Structure 1
Amino acid sequence: MPPTDESTDPGTGTDCEDTLDLRLSDELIALFARGAGPGDETGGGGSARGQEWGPGRYAEGAADPTPDGSDLLDRVGGWGPAKTPAGVLQLLPVRAGRDLALVHRWMNDPAVAEFWELAGPEAVVEDHLLRQLDGDGRSVPCLGVLDGVPMSYWEIYRADLDPLARHYPARPHDTGVHLLIGGVADRGRGLGSTLLRVVADHVLDHRPACARVVAEPDLRNTPSVSAFLSGGFRFSAEIDLPGKRAALMIRDRALRELL
């Protein structure tokens, strides 16, 4: 996202659950971990699922190595498959050589580009991916592979170690998610909500120290905000981030059976 306002206003919403007002300075963020953090969430575009991908390339349930240092996220690549009402989902850490062309195509769909702002030549997307892959593991870009077919792009990241933590009452081990649904055929039928709920619970199941999964979709992206609400997240506050005003969405471990 292009840098604009760096206000630390935590937002106008009130939330009895968010009483720990922890705002991390640049120095504290650097002390906890060294690296950079990721971007935004929206629906996607591109070709229909299954095109260009040979059988077995993304085999269901196949483990994928997680980049060195990614113990900050308890080795996302080894979490294994998750059953969803739409099929079996696997989060596979991105490999630039294998996945760059696909992610680049998705990022250049106009519906995606409006919010992710990564349209353009392949080098733009490659730089975005490599900053995470070559970092300290606080953010892991993944393909969402549903029944063996890649159909979504995810970023699983340590929100408490990300610049986002300057803008809301962060708690230790808060874990953030960004989602892009790649194929037009997979949008507009509730699949995003289904996957958000399953992936958030997948995070909580595999990160015992994490009490909350957070997200910050652009307030203008009404379908995205709605998907989070339908996916078991609650609206916590409006927050000002560089380049956007966002809805802070939270899925709490303590409330996961109620929402």
Structure 2
Amino acid sequence: MPPTDASAHAGTAPVTDIGTAASPGARERRIDSAAGSDADSEDTLDLDLPGELVRLFAEGSAAEGERSPGAASTGVPPSLLPLSEDLLDRVADWGPISTPAGTLQLVTVRIERDLPIISRWMNDPAVAAFWGLAGPQNAIEEHLWSQLSGDGRSVPCLGMLDGTPMSYWEIYRADLDPLARYYAARPHDTGVHLLMGAVGDRGRGLGGTLLRAVADLALDKRPTCARIVAEPDIRNTPSVAAFLSAGFRFSAEIDLPAKRAVLMVRDRSLRHLL
């Protein structure tokens, strides 16, 4: 359900400025035939998945209604995953990045410090419409803990702009996520969800600016990653627009369990052209 920048540019939706990436609550159905025919050949090639990854998906299919593609709770014991010590190349150490809006830094969420502000953002009706996490703090705490106590395939972060917390991010391994069942995932594909916290930061292009910066930062810090992906709700026009302005391309429409989504892709090979 957590989109990436659901309202990265809109004033009302999490996927655009509130959650541009995708919606945590949407995901497990399948790319329908129409969507598959729209995707370019690069995205529809058959992919030979490692045996361990196939096993991961098979076991994960038993768990339905997962909140977000970036959530760590797939029901697969970490011992079954043929993964390196750090699945996302130490997001906490990626450091600050300069953007036209100021200096942005992703800081790993600390429950005791960040739960109140994240809870407030999630209970904004515009955000709740796409993230589906409105409610008491304990429900949001559970969502955060599922990632912080998992195997590291998803990392929840606060976005600090010039030292001020103003956005919530989830950086995750899309190729190890249930999302990978619905598109031709490639090894080390990295997914992103973004929620713009303050209403005043939405609807003015800031989401797209920050999405571009974080996508490029991820490509710089993760040399094995060739693509950054996201799956905003197709109804969240501002979010889709934010991804397009951030250099992502519209790859396909996919049916996830809780939404029809747009698969957005930012390719390493095209990053200096889009």
Task: Work out whether 1:6 is the aligned partner of 2:12.
Answer: no
Task: Work out whether 1:127 is the aligned partner of 2:142.
Answer: yes
1:71-118 superposed Cα distances (whole Å, 9 cap, x missing partner): 100000001000000000000010111100110000000000000000
Contact 2:228 2:266 in 1 (8 A): yes
Contact 2:170 2:192 in 1 (8 A): yes
CA distance in 2, matches of 1:25, 1:117: 33
Task: Work out whether 1:20 is the aligned partner of 2:45.
Answer: yes
Give the letter aligned to residue 239 of structure 2: S
Counterpart of 1:92 in structure 2 is 107
CA distance in 1, matches of 2:27, 2:44: 27
Taking the TM superposition and a 5 Å limit, the aligned residue runs for 1:34-183 are 39=68, 71-183=86-198
CA distance in 2, matches of 1:40, 1:226: 20
Give the letter aligned to residue 96 of structure 2: P
1:160-218 superposed Cα distances (whole Å, 9 cap, x missing partner): 00000000000000000000000011111100000000000000000000000000000
Q: What is the DSSP-based 3-state SS (H/G/I as helix, E as strand, rest coil) of the residue aligned with 1:73? A: coil
State the shift of 1:38 in Å. Answer: 6.0
CA distance in 1, matches of 2:50, 2:68: 19
CA distance in 1, matches of 2:199, 2:51: 39
CA distance in 2, matches of 1:104, 1:227: 24
Q: What is the DSSP-based 3-state SS (H/G/I as helix, E as strand, rest coil) of the residue aligned with 2:118? A: helix
Q: 1:150 to 1:26 in 2, by over 3 A?
A: farther
Counterpart of 1:55 in structure 2 is none
State the shift of 1:221 in Å. Answer: 0.5
Give the letter aligned to residue 251 of structure 2: S
Q: 1:103 to 1:40 in 2, by over 3 A?
A: farther
CA distance in 2, matches of 1:4, 1:83: 33
Give the letter aligned to residue 137 of structure 1: G
Give the letter aligned to residue 139 of structure 2: V
Counterpart of 1:65 in structure 2 is none
State the shift of 1:17 in Å. Answer: 2.2
Give the letter aligned to residue 173 of structure 2: R
Q: What is the DSSP-based 3-state SS (H/G/I as helix, E as strand, rest coil) of the residue aligned with 1:71? A: coil
Contact 1:38 1:155 in 2 (8 A): no
TM-score, normalization: structure 1? 0.82
Give the letter aligned to residue 18 of structure 1: D
Contact 2:27 2:179 in 1 (8 A): no
**Count of aligned pairs:** 231
TM-score, normalization: structure 2? 0.78
Contact 2:27 2:255 in 1 (8 A): no
Give the letter aligned to residue 7 of structure 1: R
Write out the 4+ residue segments of structure 1 that deviate beyond 3 Å after TM superposition.
Answer: 1-5, 7-10, 23-27, 29-32, 34-38
Q: What is the DSSP-based 3-state SS (H/G/I as helix, E as strand, rest coil) of the residue aligned with 1:72? A: coil
Q: What is the DSSP-based 3-state SS (H/G/I as helix, E as strand, rest coil) of the residue aligned with 1:160? A: helix
Q: Which runs of 5+ in 2 are unaligned?
A: 2-24, 71-83
**What's the Cα RMSD here?**
2.5
1:12-51 superposed Cα distances (whole Å, 9 cap, x missing partner): 422132243238699635559x99986279xxxxxxxxxx
